[in-house]
Structure formats: C-alpha cells, structure tokens
Chain A
Amino acid sequence: MAISLRNLSVDYSLQQGTAHALRGVSLEIQEGEMLGLVGESGSGKSTVALALMGLLANNAQVTSGTATIEGKNFDLTKRNATAALRGRGMAMIFQDPMLSLNPVFTIGAQLCEVLRRRAPGSDRKTRVEMAQDALAKVKLSNPARRMNQYPHELSGGMRQRVVIAMALLSEPALLIADEPTTALDVTVEAQIMREIIGLRDRIGCAVLLITHSLGLVTEYCDAISVLYAGEKLESGTVEEVQRQPGHPYTRMLFDCEVPIDRQRHADASENRFTVIAGELPDPRLRPPGCIFNSRCDVSFEDCTTINPSDYPVRNDAGHSARCLRLRTP
C-alpha cells in the first residue's frame, strides 16, 4: 500500500516574522521502496519528516496537508494527528546517534520501551528476547552484552544500529531516515545504509530517506524528490531523473556531485566543485514566478511572473518537474 503526502505547508512563527518553510509539498512512496528527498540545508527536508511524525516545534504550524498511511487518511493540520502511528505505523531514524539515545538508560531498556507500545501485554522476558534479537538482526556484535550497556559505551555507528533496531522492533509501514549517516564516519555509511535496506526488505515498509547527498540517493533509492526552499521541484525514479533531470536545479545538483570514480576525500585542489551561485530566497516573502528563478542559468522572462506547475518530463510515467521550459506549447 502506497504512502502519500499531499499539499503539505508549514509555517514557522519567528521573531522576524512568519517563515513559510514548506509550501504545497506532495510525495508518494511505494510499499517496499525507498524515496530519497534531496535538498540543501534550509530547504525544509527535516520539516517534512517532523510534520509527518507530528514532532514539530511549538512555533511551527501545519497550514495544510493530508497523509495516507496504511490506507488511513490523516489531517496533518491537527496537532498530533499521527500520534497513534508513532512507534506503530511510523518510525524514525535520526541524524545524530550520539544525541538520539537517552544517556542514563541502558540500550536494552530503551529498546524494550518501544516494545511496550508495539507488543503490549508481552512480558519482560519476551521483550528482552525480542530486543536482543533485533540487535542481532542489525548486526550489532555481542547483542546480549549490548543490552546492558549505556549509549556512551558505544560508537556512533553502533548507536545508529541501535536506533535502527528500535525501528525494526516497531515494524512500521513508513520508516523515515533523516540524514542517518551524516554524523557518522564515511566508512560506516555503507554499513548503516545496508542495515536500513535490510530493515526495509525484512518488513516491506516504505522508506523516506532525507539527505543532502545525491550520491546516497543514486546508490540506494528507487525514487527521488528534489526540495528547494520549501517547494518540491522535481520527482521521479532515480534512473529517469539521473538520466535527464527535468529541472535546472536538479541538473546543477548533479553537476555539483563529485563523480563516483574520484576519491571523496582526495586533496581538495584536485576536485573542481561546481557551486550553484546565489542564496536561498527569503522564506518570509516568496517572490512571484519560479522559486529558483534568481539562481537559474536558463531562466527567461516568464520565469519571474509565472509560478510553474508540475509538468511531465519526456512522457516518463511519474517523472515530473516544475519548470516552464517543460511547458508544451
């Protein structure tokens, strides 16, 4: 059953005024697939995740948006609309594993806490067994001992495995992974991504991978959505979008990526990064026309006045982008 998110808009009230962090963002993720949501920092990627989970900060307000998860509809403008799904229908893996576990409770206690909700009525012994089993499934060495250890006794990668085990125990329909490898060593990135893929395959859930790294998306995801300044500019299968980006922003993002054949941590002078000139537009005052207009290298007159709608790219099913150049005359 597909997961869908329609027309999500979120405002933050700040001292300097109201920032429109997300404007009309829609996503669709097929069961058993991984969707990569890409964007620069400040584009609103994490806000999407927090809005879905109902974990937005107090100064945030969902002004529009509905979600369909496990065949049920949720009105996200209501606070705690998806509260019933937390830890059951939805689970989340966070960016910083050093901070996302409680430092004064053992790994085992925190895993068992998830089971209190997922498997109500189970006795302590069953829960401990299930938790230990989950740790083994995410390939954490020596799971029996880990159960009694505290987060500070584990490395960052190990802690992230613990959080993945939490997600595994909650058997969600939708797993949201918010920059799950950003805070970790590059060397463990692949392992963690493999565990996330493993989790997806084990329980057949949909995965929303939030990342700023196109490399991760092209390597692991089935579909991609590109977010820019709170608006979705392009979406499609990874294959199609990579072959022919429909939006200039997506093209520029791909140009920025360091080619896979070149070493990532090689001397900076050897790499010639392409940089997209300009800055994100002010989130309080959206200029008319295309949101990317000010930084676009192929914009023309209409781009300053007409806000493009979603146009299909090359008649590929499910591949669309919001660029006036795709308009069929």
Chain B
Amino acid sequence: MTRARHTAAFIAGRLASVVLTIAGATLLLFLMVRLVPGDFASVMLGPRATPELRAQIIHDMGLDRGLLEQLWLFASRAVTGNFGEDVVSHRPILDILLEVIPNTLELAFSALALALLIGIPIGVIAALKPGSWLDSGLALLSISFITTPTLVVSVVLFLIFAIGLHWLPVAGAGAPGDIVDRLQHLVLPSVALALGWVGYISRLIRAALLDTLAELHVRTLRAYGVSEYRIVGLYALKLALVPVVSILGIGLGDLIGSSVVVEIIFARPGIGSLIFNSIAQRNYPVVQTCVVFIVAFYIVANLVVDMINALLDPRIAAGQG
C-alpha cells in the first residue's frame, strides 16, 4: 500500500515537472521571437511581406498579446491539434508534421535499438575480463565510436555504399507500405546515428558492471553457487542497466537532434529535414512547432525513462535511489 502511494506520488511529481518544463520551453521560444531585433514578421516574411500577411502572422502567432496569453492561446490550440498554418503552402502545420514524424521516430528508435543491442554485449564482454587486451581494445573502439561525429560516419557510410558498393539504397525513406524497401532504406541512416551511442552504452555498461560486481551482494550469490553467467548476465546486469537507462532520455534527444544531419545526407524525409527546409524558407511557424514537438517528445521520453528505471530499481520509486 505504501509502495503504491510512493509510486503514485513519484509519477504525479514527474508529470507536473513535465508540463512545467514544456510550458517553460515554449515560453522561451516565444520570448526569443520577441527579442528579434526589428519587426519579426517582416524579417520572417522577407520579400513576401505584404501588410495583410504581416498582420495575419502577428495575429496567428499571438504576437499582439501578452506573453502568457500567447502561451495560453498556443496551448489551447495545440490541445485540439491546431498548430496554425504553414506560411508557404498554407497547409495545416500538424498535417505536414504528421507526414514526416513517423520517418524520424523510425530512425531514432531503430538507432536506439541498435545502440543497445550492440553496446550492451560489448560492455559486458569488456567487463568480464577487465584489463585484458580485449578490454583495452574494446575501450579504444568505444571511444572512437563516441568521438567520431555523426556527420563523418554518415558521409563515410554514404561514400562506401553509394559510390562504392551499391549494396543499400542511400536516398529517401523507401516506398510507403513496402516494408522490405523501408528497412533497406533504414539500415545506413540508423547505423550512422547509432554508432556514437554504441560507444557510450558499452562504456557505461562496462563501468557500471564493474562497480556492481565489486558489491557484496554479488559475493552472496557466488557463495550460494550461482553461476558467473547468471550473476553477470542477470543479477549484475539489471543493476548496471539503471545508469544506462537514465541516459537514454538524453540519448533520444541527441538522436533526434543528430537525425537532422543524417536525414539531410541520406535525403530522408523527417522532422530534421523539415526544420532544415523551413529555416531555408523562413517558415518560422513550422520551425517553432517542430521545436516544441521535439522538446515535448524529449521531455516525455525522459519521463518514460524514469518510469522504466523505477521498475528496474524499486529504490528509486521509494525515494531512496
């Protein structure tokens, strides 16, 4: 009973902070618009600017109201799915967004899955024989993965497979509905995006596993004859996953951020290339909506991550973690 109450309080607290942070981030974006030197609407519209268009933009974005009123307007419209209209194509922004978001989510989550599937085993193997040549080799590999910018990885993969081998398609996201085609289009971008996180996760897992294996409860299991494989692969790994999972929230944000580069290089439609193109077209309402959306996704992802962690480590929900 107390456990349930602790968990409920934990979730409620986190939800409140999620709403506040999203509101704060949106407010910051509005503030940034107001701090633009000169007349924002004219700057944004550039040569397109007509008095009518200017007035419409100012009204639609709530720039003629107080800051909090603008936030309220935005929030109450957002709840109904109304994010305003694209200045260029005059389509609802939500439609444009919904068209591309699945591509980006596909990319980010497959990269995350790859990073976990490759990173965790590498970390476990390195932790099994700390100090061995295998360990130090893997350490160097991990740090190279971490430090090589996504830009470099993408360009090199593109070169090898587009100019060199022709093994995999290098442009677009594949034909809608054709799963094989889409998967083939997904391979290179997600590998490019995942590589750095393979390194991060393997290093984290290795460090956390080594810390955990030195703890006394591991000795208890050994004393009762539990096999080393079960100890490392089950009992210690579950504890070692806690710091890894906590960083996955940041990871998802980083993956979405870096997906811009990947989406441009592999000519993939997605939220990254949408932002990119919208900036080029001075289509600020679209940029703003995309950014709010990404921030909200990022914050909610962090919330989910905390929930998963509370499941992994019951001490966190009890407030003792």
- Do A and B come together as binding partners? yes
Question: How many Å from the CB of A95 to the closest CB on chain B?
Answer: 9
Beta-carbon contact of A102 and B235 below 8 Å: yes
Total number of A residues with any Cβ neighbor in B under 8 Å: 30
Select from chain A the residue with minimum beta-carbon distance to B315. Answer: A152
Residues of B within 8 A of A117 (CB): 224-226
Beta-carbon contact of B217 and A113 below 8 Å: no
Beta-carbon contact of A87 and B226 below 8 Å: yes
Beta-carbon contact of A150 and B224 below 8 Å: no
Beta-carbon contact of A104 and B238 below 8 Å: yes
Q: Report the 6 A-B pairs with minimum CB-CB distance, sorted nearest first.
A: A87-B225, A86-B225, A87-B224, A99-B216, A102-B217, A92-B223
Q: A53-B223, A85-B225, A103-B313 given. 8 additional CB < 8 A pairs? A: A86-B224, A102-B221, A102-B239, A113-B224, A117-B226, A153-B3, A153-B318, A170-B225
Select from chain A the residue with minimum beta-carbon distance to B227. Answer: A117
> With contacts A104-B239, A105-B235 known, is A99 near B217, CB below 8 A?
yes
Beta-carbon contact of B318 and A163 below 8 Å: no
Within 8 Å of chain A (Cβ to Cβ): is B5?
no
Question: How many Å from the CB of B193 to the closest CB on chain A?
Answer: 30
- Near A by CB (< 8 A), chain B positions 192-213 give none
Q: Give the tally of cross-chain contacts (CB within 8 A).
A: 80
Interface centre among B217, B226, B230, B315, by most chain A C-beta atoms within 10 angstroms, is B217
Question: How many Å from the CB of B216 to the closest CB on chain A?
Answer: 4
> With contacts A55-B222, A55-B223 known, is A94 near B315, CB below 8 A?
no
Size range of the interface on B?
20 to 34
Residues of A within 8 A of B223 (CB): 53, 55, 86-87, 90-92, 94
Within 8 Å of chain B (Cβ to Cβ): is A190?
no
Question: How many Å from the CB of A104 to the closest CB on chain B?
Answer: 5
Within 8 Å of chain A (Cβ to Cβ): is B312?
yes
Chain B 214-234 near chain A by CB (<8 Å), digits 1 or 0: 011111111111100010000
- Near B by CB (< 8 A), chain A positions 151-172 give 152-153, 163, 166, 170
Within 8 Å of chain B (Cβ to Cβ): is A96?
yes
Select from chain B the residue with minimum beta-carbon distance to A99. Answer: B216
Select from chain A the residue with minimum beta-carbon distance to B241. Answer: A104
A85–B235 alpha-carbon span in the complex (Å)? 21
> With contacts A102-B235, A103-B239, A170-B224 known, is A150 near B315, CB below 8 A?
yes
Question: How many Å from the CB of A237 to the closest CB on chain B?
Answer: 29
A170–B220 alpha-carbon span in the complex (Å)? 13
A150–B313 alpha-carbon span in the complex (Å)? 10
